[in-house]
Amino acid sequence: MDAVKVIEIKKSVYESNDREADRLREELRSKGIFLLNLMSSPGSGKTTTLKATINRMKYTHNIGVMEADIDSDVDAIAIAKETGVKSIQLHTGGMCHLDAGMTRQGLDELIDGKVDFAILENVGNLVCPAEFDTGATKNAMILSVPEGDDKPLKYPLMFSICDVVLINKIDVMPYFDFDLEKCKENIKLRNPQAKVIPICAKTGEGVDEFVKWLEEEIRINKG
Amino acid sequence: MHELGVVFHIIDDVTAVGRENNLTGISSVTLQLGKVSTVIPEYLTDCWNWAVKKTDLLKEAELIIEPIEAISFCEDCKTSFDTIENGKTCPNCGSTHTFLQQGNEFMIKEISGS
């Protein structure tokens, strides 16, 4: 029998994924494709926000949506039915997040030569998706009012990696002890660069500002 | 919370290293895990023992986890303190202008095999 060899590796568990994500991001940029990774906890209004956003942008962009869930295809069906854009469902097989490799597989199916604005609706979870770079051009997250203004303190990594934070369900603010200014302060503490946009996906309030932010980022990505 | 997902990443990375070095079997994999890395060692070991059975190169591989203490630094009084005991508040001066120095690492340190 051969002697036992010890091989030193000394590398982060996340390093391979980070490299794959950087490769994917660069490939997308060179093809003029913008990929938005949308994250939040379950029930914060990701699908409703996407419907409102897509319906404002679908006439000027070729939009495609990837819905990532542990199981079911309810979100993909809802998006396709209510917006008419191409929508596919990705099943994570029990996993709590998507990584860059899984995102690439989804994009291979979604992008048919037409789609130039791809949206990934990540698994509803404030912890794991933050650890794995998907290769998205920009990261967005939604925090809804019933979840509380202290969430940026409890889930610092998620807030620190997001380019934009949407504070959703502002129509019910009077019924909850949610302090919008305190919440903005808590976000700035973790991520001074993050743009914060209060919205109500149901009534459409604030959605135009999010669309404006997206349009600008898409323009920058195209160079 | 995402122990199973990271186990698959570790298996992929370690398999690649094992192949490059012409190993026929990997007997152990050593990780360095910070105490505030959000990964629970017991869950990681459970996921590991389940997932390696499905591989060729790693089916006998033991997972060795070396913990790394979580230590924060206070920018106001310039002292270090235990993060798990004190959180973000400096026990010396009460300031919250503190940052984590170490303790969120999640590294593959080494493997052994033949």
For residue A191, how many other CB atoms are within 10 A of its CB?
19
Q: How far is B106 from chain A (nearest CA, A)?
A: 6
In whole angstroms, give the CA distance from residue B16 to residue A54: 41
Q: Give the model's pLDDT for residue A17.
A: 93
Span A99-133, pLDDT tens digits: 999 999 999 999 988 899 999 999 998 988 998 99
For residues A190 and A220, which has the higher predicted lDDT (pLDDT)? A220
Q: What is the pLDDT of residue A3?
A: 82
Rounded to 10 degrees, the C-alpha dihedral A207/A208/A212/A215 comes to: 80
Q: How confident is the model over A49-64, as pLDDT tens digits?
A: 999 999 999 999 999 9
- Write out pLDDT tens, residues B11-68: 999 999 999 999 999 999 999 999 998 899 999 999 999 999 999 999 999 999 999 9
Whether the CB-CB separation of B11 and B79 falls below 8 Å is answered with no
- Which chain A residue has its CA at the smallest distance from B22's CA? A5
CB contact under 8 A, A127 and B114: no
Instruction: Give me the percent of chain A exceeding a pLDDT of 90.
Output: 81
Confidence of residue A189 (pLDDT cuts 50, 70, 90): confident
pLDDT at A2: 62
User: Does the distance separating the beta carbons of B108 and A7 come in below 8 Å?
Assistant: no
The length of chain A, given as a count of residues: 223
Cβ of residue B12 closer than 8 Å to a chain A Cβ: yes
For the residues A83-106, what does the mean pLDDT come to? 90
Q: What's the pLDDT score for residue A223?
A: 83
A residues 60..79 contacting B (CB < 8 A): none
Asked: is A24-222 a CATH 3.30.230.70 domain? The reply is: no
Mean per-residue pLDDT over chain A, rounded: 93
Asked if pLDDT for residue A1 goes beyond 60, the answer is no
Q: How far is A122 from chain B (nearest CA, A)?
A: 14
Q: B23 CB near a chain A CB, below 8 Å?
A: yes
Helices (H), chain A: 15-30, 46-57, 74-83, 100-110, 128-131, 151-154, 156-161, 180-190, 207-222
Residues B63-83: pLDDT tens digits?
A: 999 999 999 999 999 999 999
Q: What angle, rounded to 10 degrees, do the helices at B3-20 and A15-30 form?
A: 90
The two tokens of residue A44 are 């914060």
Would you give the end-to-end CA distance of chain A in angstroms? 59
- The three-state secondary structure class of B34 is strand
What's the farthest any 2 CA atoms get from each other in chain A? 73
State the pLDDT at residue B1.
Answer: 62
Domain range summary for chain A, segments of one domain joined by +: 24-222
Task: Please give the CATH topology (third level) of the domain spanning B3-68+103-113.
Answer: hypothetical protein PF0899 fold (3.30.2320)
pLDDT at A71: 80
pLDDT digits (tens, 9 = 90+) for A17-32: 999 999 999 999 999 9
Across the interface, do A127 and B21 touch by the CB < 8 Å criterion?
no
Asked if residue A119 lies in contact with residue A63, where contact means CB atoms within 8 angstroms, the answer is yes
Sequence ranges of the domains in chain B: 3-68+103-113
Check if A93 contacts B (Cβ < 8 Å).
no
Confidence of residue B103 (pLDDT cuts 50, 70, 90): very high
CB atoms within 10 A of CB A4: 12
| ipTM of predicted assembly, 2 dp | 0.86
Alpha carbons B6 and B14: distance in angstroms, whole number: 12
pLDDT tens-digit series, residues A138-175: 999 999 999 999 999 889 899 999 999 999 999 999 99
Distance CA A213, CA A206 (A): 11
Query: What are residue A120's DSSP bridge partners?
Result: A37, A66
